[in-house]
Amino acid sequence: MNAKNLSYQRLVKHFTSLSHFEHFNALAEWDLAAMMPKGGGADRTDALATLSGHIHELKSASWLSDAIHEATQGPLSSEQAANVREMARQHSQASLMPTDLVEAKTRAGLNCEQAWRGQRQNNDWLGFKPNLTEVINLTQQEAQVRSQALGISPYDSLLDKFEPGIKAHDIEQWFSPLRQQLPALIQTVLTKQAQEMNISAQGHYPQAAQVALSHKVMTRLGFNFDHGRLDISSHPFTGGVPSDVRLTTRFDESDFTSALMGTIHETGHALYEMGLPKAFSSQPAGQARSMAVHESQSLFCEMQLGRSEGFLGLIINDINNTLNSEFDLKRLANLYTRVSAGRIRVDADEVTYPCHILLRFDAEKALVTGELAVADLPDFWSANMQSLLGINTDGDYRNGCMQDIHWTLGELGYFPSYSLGAMLAAQLRNTMEQQLGDVNQVMATQGLAPIFAWLSEQVWQQGSLLSTPELIQQACGAPLSAEYLLQHLRQRYL
């Protein structure tokens, strides 16, 4: 092996070591949100800020530039070349940011998030506002640093962290058909469903029974409990690492439907993580491609599968036996395809869901540029909820602009990934059905195995070996388009 190949091996060793620090960072963040006693918050915040600074220094080490250049000069397989490309990207991203800003933003975000848990519950906007203001100020500083280094707009520089190479202009083009067609579609569906029986799931469903149901459904979906677990947090999320995936959800004992779909959603994230290419498990090329691809897998499970009669037919006995209920399949399907304009994003049906993302996309663009001040966020929120969904949120901060965890951590640029993921999920299903046949029929005759085998080959095992556009083109034979999502919504709801 010549010196050029030795450079690649040196890089592999370095990024393997880096992945070990990221492993414990991920588990410490999960523990903070799900298990840590309240009194541990201050010291955990300091520890995570220090650890994030150390990870940043490892990624931005000056010698990496020469080593990456040297590695590209020697013989590399296509997969190794992709790994070097992703190493270069991570190094470049980290090198843009000073360590003290990374640590300051981490500390402010964790302080804000921990306080938010109680502040949201108490509808305490006045207590939350100064914490969020500090996080947004630091995020604006980050955006300016990234913008100047990359030669792109501040908001585009934040988007690039979650969706490499994607610009706000691209997202506007993808979202344009949703902006134009969703209002009329929503009204048509609401008018249609107003003539139908309105089914309710209200009752008493003990949390212990819902946890047991979640475990059964996760097992049906293929979740491996030897490599993960389910816990409870203020906001559902998936964390950990591919060999130890940590899921969380939240339960409402008066209505099981939201927690069950939340669990299915997070299991989709987990299956993607567990299915990433093992040969690159400690390397950049073995990581998830982007947040849109990640959300496509969770939304495929939750929306494309979870709300279909085919999937509900697979789990209806689990539901009735575990919750001591007597739902029939039609009633259950009615529950999960009921459309209504609501305040909470994570509880939204798939027809109105994109409206929640359009609001957040517009808000965070304005927050980054300073056109929207944090103090004016509640009024902006209420006005746009009124415009998009006919809902007034004045004074209801906990179910308005305080409902999500993302901005408390400074994760501006993330929200578009949800609707991009919904679009990709619909496009993946369209392509899958061309090859496997109707998904509901596949589930009825063969179960879930063929579906997940297809996703594994087309998405999970690809990791970051391809760019996002390349992955979509290879899997679907066409670039990303909103038309598949709109077609899916019309087919299912009209």
Active site residues: 266
> At a CB cut-off of 8 Å and minimum separation 6, what does 309 contact?
329, 333, 440
Strand 237-241 and strand 244-249: pairing?
antiparallel
Contact 48, 32 (CB under 8 A): yes
- 296, two tokens: 């496509």
The neighbour count for residue 106, using CB atoms within 10 Å, is 23
Compute the distance between CA of residue 254 and CA of residue 281 in angstroms, rounded to an integer.
41
Size of the chain, expressed as the number of residues it contains:
494
* DSSP letter for each residue of 302-319: IIIITTSHHHHHHHHHHH
Burial zone of 166 (CB within 10 Å; 0-12 exposed, 13-18 middle, 19+ buried):
buried
CA distances from 327 to 45, 83, 204 (A): 45, 49, 14
Compute the distance between CA of residue 452 and CA of residue 273 in angstroms, rounded to an integer.
13
Report the Cα 196 to chain-centroid distance in Å: 33
Phi, psi of 278 (to 5 degrees): -65, -30
Phi, psi of 244 (to 5 degrees): -155, 75
